[in-house]
């Protein structure tokens, strides 16, 4: 009497047998090794980090630069969408007045653009608060926002200016610091948010 080999119930074993060109006998008394559980989809998908920066206050700019540079150093793809009061931060420090009409120029005069000219949201005291913050940062070895910005750019953080805000404030590409990305709109940001980017509003 001829003994027939029972068909394998293990898809992996069948695939191996098909590739190697020979059947593999299966002992019916031995339970097949359970396949490893599939990895969690949330772990399998790499997350991007999207900071939506809409504030020009010194402490918030500082926090943005710390988080952006740190996440980039950890190997996370990091983008910063800069809009409204966050945008003048990325104007060149040497620019004193920006804009084309009197309202745009007046706004830049009231709040000087540039990362080195930020005010605190609280306890500004006509510039005394930011001066004390910078002195304390230097005393305790904390990098300045400008230094952190340079680090973030060197690590590949993308800074995306808001096209609508640039138009409203009368800002031109030549007004902005080197290394800024192309201006984008809200639709681009929504697209990033629907592509597994983790958002943070600052």
3-state secondary structure 126-167: HHHHHHHHHHHHHHCCCCCHHHHHHHHHHCCCEEEEEHHHHH
pLDDT in tens, 150-165: 999 999 999 999 999 9
DSSP type of residue 36:
P
Structural domains in the chain, sorted by start: 46-201 (3.40.1260.10)
Report the chain's terminal Cα–Cα distance, integer Å.
79
For 99, 114, 161, 163, the CA distances from 104, given in Å and listed in that order, are 5, 15, 17, 15
Q: Does the pLDDT value for residue 103 go beyond 70?
A: yes
DSSP type of residue 48:
E
Question: Strand order in 158-161's β-sheet?
Answer: 158-161, 78-82, 48-53, 197-201
Mean predicted confidence (pLDDT) in 7-13 = 49
Q: What is the pLDDT of residue 39?
A: 53
Q: Does the pLDDT value for residue 107 go beyond 60?
A: yes
Token pair of 143 as six digits: 């990098």
Mean predicted confidence (pLDDT) in 14-41 = 50
Token pair of 6 as six digits: 């029972």
- Of 32-36, 39-43, 126-130, 177-181, the poorest mean pLDDT is in 39-43
Bigger pLDDT: 155 vs 31: 155
Q: What is the pLDDT of residue 24?
A: 47
Q: What is the pLDDT of residue 30?
A: 53
Q: Does the pLDDT value for residue 41 go beyond 70?
A: no
Helices (H), 4-127: 11-20, 41-44, 58-73, 102-110
Mean predicted confidence (pLDDT) in 8-21 = 48
Q: Considering the chain, what is the average pLDDT of its residues?
A: 85
Q: What is the pLDDT of residue 80?
A: 98
pLDDT in tens, 166-194: 999 999 999 999 999 999 999 999 999 99
Assign residue 75 a region (left: φ > 0; alpha: ψ between -120 and 50; beta: otherwise): left
Q: Does the pLDDT value for residue 147 go beyond 50?
A: yes
Bigger pLDDT: 193 vs 34: 193
Bigger pLDDT: 28 vs 197: 197
Token pair of 129 as six digits: 């608060």
- Cβ proximity of 49 and 198 under 8 Å: yes
């Amino acid at each position: 009497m001829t003994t027939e080999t029972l068909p394998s119930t293990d898809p992996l074993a069948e695939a191996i047998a098909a590739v190697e060109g020979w059947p593999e006998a299966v002992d019916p008394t031995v339970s097949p090794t359970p396949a490893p559980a599939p990895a969690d989809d949330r772990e399998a998908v790499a997350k991007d980090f999207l900071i939506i920066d809409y504030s020009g206050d010194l402490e918030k700019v500082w926090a943005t630069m710390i988080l952006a540079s740190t996440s980039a150093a950890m190997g996370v793809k990091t983008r910063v969408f800069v809009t409204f009061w966050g945008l003048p931060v990325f104007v060149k420090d040497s620019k004193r007045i920006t804009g084309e009409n009197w309202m745009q120029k007046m706004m830049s005069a009231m709040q000087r653009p540039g990362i080195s000219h930020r005010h605190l949201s609280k306890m500004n005291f006509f510039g005394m608060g930011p001066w004390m913050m910078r002195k304390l940062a230097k005393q305790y070895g904390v990098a300045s926002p400008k230094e952190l910005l340079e680090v973030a750019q060197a690590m590949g953080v993308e800074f995306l200016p808001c096209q609508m805000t640039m138009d409203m404030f009368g800002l031109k590409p030549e007004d902005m610091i080197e290394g800024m990305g192309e201006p984008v709109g809200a639709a681009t940001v929504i697209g990033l948010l629907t592509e597994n980017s983790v958002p943070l509003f600052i």
